[in-house]
Amino acid sequence: MKHASGFSVLELIVVLSLAAILAAFGVLSHQAMQPEINLSMAARQVVMDLKVTRLRAVARNVNHRILFPAGNSSYRLQHKSGSTYSDDGNPVPLPRGIVIASCTATASAIGFKPRGNAATFGTVTLQNGKGDARRVVVDIAGEVRVQ
């Protein structure tokens, strides 16, 4: 008598059930980590935009800055036009669930001079819905880092 090769229906049901349970745990753990992931993404985004703003100030020989209004989920890129600042496009949104908790810079704006040093400097604090925070620091020399 020959034995049939393959899996029984019961074995397939057990394996599929285990796979579904493991997938559910993966989805739940990913959702629990999402606010922290978004906070890290937001901090990297702000660092990169500050570095690009510094380079624009040097390349265009005009002061540039980023306005960080506390409580908002977006910020504005600006350049100096005469004695005032004008917006460069639309507000830049932060990842979902992230807000600007505070900005210690003068007028809540971190700016750069054409030589690359900071016109205004300080700390931007980003916060997620769980209360976790990341601080992006710009010093007087125009160096940007995350704390």
7: in domain: no
**pLDDT digit string (tens) for 28-87?**
666 668 999 999 999 999 999 999 999 999 999 999 999 999 999 999 999 999 999 999
25: in domain: no
Per the structure, the count of domains in the chain is 1
Contact 120, 111 (CB under 8 A): yes
53: in domain: yes
66: in domain: yes
74: in domain: yes
Domain containing residue 94: 35-146
Nearest Cα residue to 113 out of 69, 77, 63, 72: 63
CATH number for 119: 3.55.40.10
Place of tokens 């977006």: 74
Q: DSSP assignment of 16-54, as one string?
A: HHHHHHHHHHHHHHHHHHHHHHHHHHHHHHHHHHHHHHH
18: in domain: no
**pLDDT digit string (tens) for 97-144?**
999 999 999 999 999 999 999 999 999 999 999 999 999 999 999 999
